[in-house]
Structure 1
Amino acid sequence: MTNYQTINVETLQSLLNQKEINLIDVREVYEYEDNHIPEAVNIPLSVLVENTDQFKKEEHYHIICRSGNRSGQACQYLSGLGIATTNVDGGMLDWEAL
């Protein structure tokens, strides 16, 4: 069972156009450097556990990766710590197709 929300890239684009959101890209550094959404902060899934101090429980985070798999894992982990998250389904693959 998941205790986080899921949105598609169209909804993400709309949110980014409306307001500032916390967007976290959990792909590896080389993937992020290759192409990323300008507003995204890179915290790779492989080092997420060591970087949970960067997340505030009173804020909401949108998590993206290449396809939605790693971001889903990140959402599962962070929501288990009481951090509100939304998984961007389809990830950068869908974003690049917009």
Structure 2
Amino acid sequence: MPLKDTNCRNANPQDKPYRLYDEQGLYLEVQPNGGRYWRLKYRFLGKEKRLALGVYPEVGLQESRRKRNDARILFRWPSAFAAPPPAFWAQLSE
């Protein structure tokens, strides 16, 4: 079930970090100190990786989904070993 913005706002810190999952590898990681971070879980060359997409609430749910979709395009780049253009990286960090 997709994550809703109210779930993100109401996520309270606990003793250990925990995750609120959205879709297609996107989740909100809630830290014990109250920090909430958008992360994307994916696999590359058989290994699990995580990509940081921003800090909630500076990066909202809709923007994190857009960044997830942009990153998924990058993962399907024609050659897994060719670097994408610098403009693509700049767009992701905005």
TM-score of the two chains, using structure 2 as the length reference: 0.28
Structure richer in helix, relative to its length? 1
Which one scores higher on RCO, CA 8 angstroms, separation ≥ 6? 1
Structure richer in strand, relative to its length? 2
TM-score of the two chains, using structure 1 as the length reference: 0.28
